[in-house]
Amino acid sequence: MRSFRISRIKKVVVTDEVFVRRPLESIKNEEATAESQKCVTLILRFKPEDLYRVFDDYDEESITRNADGTYDVTITFPEDEWVYGYIMSFGCFVEVIEPQYVRDIIRDRMKKAFELYQE
């Protein structure tokens, strides 16, 4: 499954090109392939310092404000290397709450990154 972000569109140009709809069967085959990919439901806790990304990236229904000012986001992604890199892109502003095994993966990768900067 691929996700396309509207925010990545930098220059919109109107053309005479016409969209040709693919046959429905072709789309169903792609959906079946995407559904067979293992997905993971994450609970991520964000610090207020990175709040702009939370509201840029997630629907309000998936965001819960906590009493301490942090925000929890519950989201499901295909589980692959991309999702680990995505989580790490938030640096010290995010904590994986669940699932524990993803928390462990991120912790181990953060330790390795930290070790690169040891003198």
Phi, psi of 44 (to 5 degrees): -110, 135
More confident residue, 2 or 20: 20
Please report whether residue 115 resides in a domain.
yes
Which domain covers residue 73, as residue numbers?
38-119
Structure confidence at residue 83 (pLDDT): 94
Please report whether residue 19 resides in a domain.
no
Q: Are 45 and 71 in contact (CB under 8 A)?
A: yes
The mean per-residue pLDDT over the stretch 38-50 comes to 93
Nearest-angstrom CA–CA distance, 5 and 19: 19
Please report whether residue 119 resides in a domain.
yes
Instruction: Specify the number of domains making up the chain.
Output: 1
CATH of the domain at 93: 3.30.70
Please report whether residue 15 resides in a domain.
no
**pLDDT, averaged across the chain:** 86
pLDDT in tens, 55-91: 888 888 999 999 999 999 999 999 999 999 999 999 9
Please report whether residue 10 resides in a domain.
no
Please report whether residue 99 resides in a domain.
yes
Structure confidence at residue 56 (pLDDT): 86
Please report the sign of the dihedral spanned by the C-alpha atoms of residue 24, residue 30, residue 35, residue 36: positive
Please report whether residue 24 resides in a domain.
no
Please report whether residue 53 resides in a domain.
yes
Structure confidence at residue 110 (pLDDT): 95
Residue-wise burial string across 68-86, b where 16 or more C-beta atoms lie within 10 A, e elsewhere: eebbbbeeeeebeeebeee
Nearest-angstrom CA–CA distance, 87 and 45: 11
Q: Write the CB contacts of 105 (distance below 8 Å, at least 6 apart in sequence).
A: 84
pLDDT at 22 > cutoff 80: no
